Amino acid sequence: MGDFVIKRAIISVWNKKGIIPLAKKLVQKGVEIYSTGGTFKVLTENGIPVTKIEDLTGFPEIMNGRIKTLHPLVFSGILADRSNSGHQQDLQRVGALDFQLIVVNLYPFAETFYAGDKSDSEIVEMIDIGGPSMLRAASKNYNSVVVLSDPSQYSDFIERLNNGTIDEEYRRLLAGAVFIKTAGYDAEIAGFFSGKADGLPDLWMNRYRKRAELRYGENPDQKAALYSPVSAAESLPFIQLQGKEISYNNYVDCIAAYRVAMEFSTEKVVCANLKHTNPCGFGVADSALDAYKRAVRADPVSYYGGIVSVNRPVDRAVAEEFAKSFLECIVAPEFSREAIEILKKRKNLRLLIPNRDYLDYPYDVRAYGKGLLVQEHQMPEDREEAWDIVTERRPDDSFFRALRIGWHIVKHVKSNAIVLADKNGSVGVGAGQMSRVDSMKIAIRKAGEAGLEIKNTIIASDAFFPFRDSIDLAAKYGIAGVIQPGGSIRDKEVIRACEEHNMFMLFTHKRVFKH
């Protein structure tokens, strides 16, 4: 083991993964092991010689394990600097043993907190006290102690133990990993205790670990990386089955695509085609193939080189259709074996399964310099009973499916947004214009270019109409009705325009801007 000799170790872990091979290697190297509670039980059951911490301290575990290692004989043995003669004399004076290895991982506080079905008392019980204390003590004394805080570190440690390369640089690196871990751990606990004000946390203390270097950011001259929470370091937004590395822009587009397709409540199959986070086509049908064909038909030009998202498994039939076009990514909850075999021919095409546990998050977060802008994620569900029909003409049942589809799509289109829709999906999309009537003109133009019937469609608007000009334009094309939030000082004027053109209009009383 070179200049760094390990004579004694403390092993006290919640996550027992990999602990038996590690302990066996330590015993093989002549290391004396001390342990506690459940870890002691697992080690002895596997025939590994181990001494209870309480036999060292003369003090039993009490309070259901709350007090196990919090004792001066434990912490003096961890904190004693081997290069400090005074420390060594103090050890002898109090009859303490020095430790050169600490193996500790923490109670799963975050997992318990976010489980959603745990009481406050159960969550509080998962606040580790002795574990972080030992980790921090060992890290402070990295010159004399090596500390392992995660099972992922064991294999490298064993290799270094065999090679005698547990050097100062390595010990310092492991010490740094401890403080990253405990910072995240404490942040989660602070979030639990801080409560909420107006639905938002008082403290925003999340910590993130780099998970992947991306080729570049939004543009080639920008560096980019993917980060995930320290408390859930293995989390990724998507499971990638095949294809090129996911780029920064791919991630942004695919997260948007996931929400467009997966958040629409229906028993049918939904397919959304996206470009630059905007849905350019949206189809609803009984099969993935028909839904995709309808989405493509709504804009057969823009979808080229875009993202496709489906709310049902991808089967052979739709995979064969996907393979005919150049697509960047396909997002779906599942891909059949046949579908994967077909799509392998497009070797650069990324097949992605969304990780709903990490994508479904109650907040939208944006950085402004060194600070954050945080808002609640706008929930996809709508209380249709709150919708008001504000015109004499009322939509019959045949229009309500189109109204639901249009209102859903427009939530995901950059403002100012207008969507033309029928009962099968989008007919035309006007996105991101500074003037609402310009978005209206684009949606109508797109529908005409696609050869889709505009007459008797509906229009959905993400915010109120400031003037009647969009209604007058819609009437020229035989559009049947409108769904919009309402709230303009000219609402009466806009409603009057609908009455003049025998169109119906619904107010949702909910704005759905997207910036």
The distance from CA 390 to its chain's CA centroid, rounded to whole angstroms, is 40
Q: Three-state SS for 30?
A: coil
pLDDT given for residue 226 in this prediction: 92
- Which of the following is catalytic: 276, 344, 414, 423? 276
pLDDT given for residue 234 in this prediction: 66
pLDDT digits (tens, 9 = 90+) for 474-488: 999 999 999 999 999
One domain, residues 351 and 407: no
Please name the amino acid found at residue 340: I
Phi-psi region of 133 (alpha: psi -120 to 50; beta: other; left: phi over 0): alpha
One domain, residues 175 and 293: no
Nearest CA among 382, 451, 457, 449 for reference residue 420: 457
Look up the domain containing 423 and give its range.
386-507
One domain, residues 253 and 106: no
Q: Where are the beta strands (DSSP E) in 409-468?
A: 418-422, 425-430, 458-461
pLDDT digits (tens, 9 = 90+) for 64-111: 767 777 788 888 888 888 888 888 887 788 878 889 999 998 888 777
Q: Give how many domains the chain has, as a whole number.
A: 3
In sequence order, what are the beta bridge partners of 429? 419
User: Quick check: 60 pLDDT over 80?
Assistant: no
pLDDT given for residue 197 in this prediction: 47
Active site (annotated) includes residue 276 = yes
**Domain annotation covers residue 346:** yes
Active site (annotated) includes residue 140 = yes
Average pLDDT over residues 207-223: 90
Indicate which CATH number applies to the domain containing 485: 3.40.140.20
pLDDT digits (tens, 9 = 90+) for 406-417: 999 999 999 999
| Residue 488 to residues 130, 419, 493, Cα–Cα distance (Å) | 60, 19, 10
pLDDT given for residue 231 in this prediction: 63
Could you tell me the pLDDT band of residue 233, with boundaries at 50, 70 and 90? Answer: low
pLDDT digits (tens, 9 = 90+) for 170-181: 999 999 999 888
DSSP state of 414: P
User: Which of 194, 229, 247 is where one domain is finished?
Assistant: 194
User: Quick check: 2 pLDDT over 60?
Assistant: no
One domain, residues 288 and 412: no
CB 409 within 8 A of CB 279: yes
Nearest CA among 281, 226, 280 for reference residue 249: 226
User: Quick check: 1 pLDDT over 60?
Assistant: no
- Which of the following is catalytic: 25, 29, 118, 140? 140
Could you tell me the pLDDT band of residue 326, with boundaries at 50, 70 and 90? Answer: very high
Average pLDDT over residues 14-20: 91
pLDDT digits (tens, 9 = 90+) for 128-157: 888 898 899 999 999 999 999 999 999 999
User: Quick check: 431 pLDDT over 60?
Assistant: yes
User: Quick check: 198 pLDDT over 60?
Assistant: no
One domain, residues 353 and 406: no
pTM for this model (two decimals): 0.74
**Domain annotation covers residue 265:** yes
Indicate the average pLDDT of the chain. Answer: 89
Indicate which CATH number applies to the domain containing 26: 3.40.50.1380
pLDDT digits (tens, 9 = 90+) for 340-380: 999 999 999 999 999 988 888 888 898 898 898 988 888 87
pLDDT given for residue 199 in this prediction: 66
One domain, residues 78 and 142: yes
**Domain annotation covers residue 465:** yes
pLDDT given for residue 363 in this prediction: 84
